[in-house]
Amino acid sequence: MTRPLRIQYPGALYHVTCRGNERKEIFKDDADRQYFLDTLAESMAIYSIRLYSFVLMTNHFHLQPIRGSNL
């Protein structure tokens, strides 16, 4: 059974999280974290997303993106 479609509308706030397999590290050093943040910034510009908050841990991250006006 599939999950219901996510409701999307301009200004919607979401919670996104991702954890490494078996809780293993996904960021090994500051260079990994910077690469992730640079890639995230590029994606945010492409999809008109703003970031309300974020946290990067060694084995997972949390993002709170806000959907832009162009769906």
Q: Is residue 7 part of a domain?
A: no
Query: What span, in angstroms and rounded, lies between the C-alpha atoms of 70 and 54?
Result: 22
| Any domain includes 38 | yes
Cβ count near 65 (within 10 Å): 20
Residue 61's pLDDT is 97
Q: What are the Cα distances from residue 6, in Å, to 9, 13, 15, 63?
A: 10, 12, 12, 16
Residue 22 located in a structural domain: yes
Does a structural domain hold residue 1? Answer: no
Domain assignment present for 26: yes
Domain that holds residue 62: 16-67
User: Are the beta carbons of 43 and 29 closer than 8 angstroms?
Assistant: no
Mean pLDDT rounded to a whole number for the chain = 91
- For 26-59, the pLDDT digits (tens) are 999 999 999 999 999 999 999 889 999 999 999 9
pLDDT for the residue numbered 70: 61
Percent with pLDDT over 70 in the chain? 97
pLDDT at 8: 83
Q: How confident is the model at residue 3 (pLDDT cuts 50, 70, 90)?
A: confident
* Residue 61 within a domain: yes
In which residue are the tokens 């943040």 written? 37
For residue 63, tell me if it sits in a domain.
Answer: yes
Prediction pTM value: 0.82
Count the Cβ atoms, other than its own, within 10 Å of residue 52: 11
Domains: count for the chain: 1
- Domain contains 20: yes
